[in-house]
Amino acid sequence: MRLVVADCSARYTGRLTAMLPRAKRLLVVKADGSVLLHSDGGSYKPLNWMSPPCSLSMREPDAEAAERGVTQVWTVQHTKSDDRLEIELHDVHHESAHDLGIDPGLVKDGVEAHLQELLAAQIGLLGDGHTLVRREYMTAIGPVDILARDASGATVAIEIKRRGDIDGVEQLTRYLDLLNRDPLLAPVRGVFAAQEIKPQARVLATDRGIGCLVLDYDAMRGVDDVDSRLF
């Protein structure tokens, strides 16, 4: 990894065209040749960047650029597309290189898969008498998160989201359309389950006869005795 702090301007062409006026910034060149251009604020997203696979070439400025005070010109060309990032460096305030090696990577816990696991184990949250048919029930257009039966034996399709918004309702609607064409399953009722359900999503779901269930992650995890999973 190479770190450079320098006055620079940049120009990106590819999926869009973008221009970055001259300012002092951090440039990071990673081992795979990818480049990040960071300012001293904002978020984790760089102002400009080039994702791998790409190749970086550095050259001297031409006479006109040298006249403007440019000391180096970097061209980062994406290998698989026309995406290109051109950086003109002026004053270089810092430069260093570091051998980092490969990274063991991040270990995560607590996402949608876990919600699904917990709800499958606590299927009674849907109402008394509910039984689990199976998780990840495959259909032609993708897997239904949970398929269950209610006390009367009717099929229930459940879509689980961390944040429930309109897209999730649309997704469940497509599954329901398909499942209801199967005479062995029909009629299939839908339940939209999420830690948080957006008002517009709730309105759409209700309008389509889809039930809404707000999941309390902490409470569900509390019931599950395998609480301390990773840490």
Residues that bind its own copies (CB under 8 A): 1, 3, 5, 11, 15-26, 28, 30-32, 34, 36, 38-49, 51-52, 93-94, 96, 98-111, 141, 162, 167, 170, 200, 230-231
Kindly state the smallest distance separating residue 109's Cβ from its own copies, in Å.
5
Smallest distance, DNA to C-beta of residue 141, A: 6
Q: How far is CA 167 from CA 9, 110, 203, 205, in A?
A: 39, 21, 13, 11
Q: How many angstroms separate the CA atoms of 226 and 142, rounded?
A: 29
Looking at the Cβ atoms of 12 and 74, the one nearer to DNA is 12
Closer residue to DNA (CB): 114 or 152: 114
We find the least distance from the C-beta atom of residue 94 to DNA, in angstroms, to be 22
Encoded tokens for 224: 């599950």
Contact of residue 168 among its own copies, DNA, none (CB under 5-8 Å per partner type): DNA
Structure tokens at 144: 């239904």
In the list DNA, its own copies, none, the entry touching 230 (Cβ below 5 to 8 angstroms by class) is its own copies
The H or E element containing residue 124 is none
Q: Label residue 173 exposed, middle or buried (CB < 10 Å: 0-12, 13-18, 19+).
A: middle
